[in-house]
Amino acid sequence: LKEQFNQLYAPPQVHSAVQGGMQLEFGHEMQALVEKFNSPNADRVHSLMNKVKDVNDKVVESIDKLLLRQDKIDILVDRTQLLSESSNSFRREAERVRRVVW
């Protein structure tokens, strides 16, 4: 708005203008902005943008939780594999000891 005003009027014109003297020429620009920002559509858009932001935040949070869960599952799989290998090794060693003892 300020840039538009400065493009239309030079500083000497602004300083020598009487009160309300530029309103006829520039008033429609100000009125258009007032109507734009006071319209119910602007509030709806703002409300929808807030809802979209909330949904986006929830999606990001869910993805973070999912990634943490996946990390825990990967750790559990690794530990399970180690346990399986250890139990197989223990079983073989127990069978070897049993043969030696008997």
- Could you write out the DSSP letters of every residue in 26-46? HHHHHHHHHHHHHSHHHHHHH
DSSP class of residue 9 equals S
What pLDDT score does 6 carry?
Answer: 63
Tell me the whole-structure pTM to 2 decimals.
0.47
For the chain, the domains span 1-38, 41-102
pLDDT digits (tens, 9 = 90+) for 47-73: 889 999 999 999 999 999 999 999 999
Is residue 13 within 8 Å of residue 30, measured between CB atoms? no
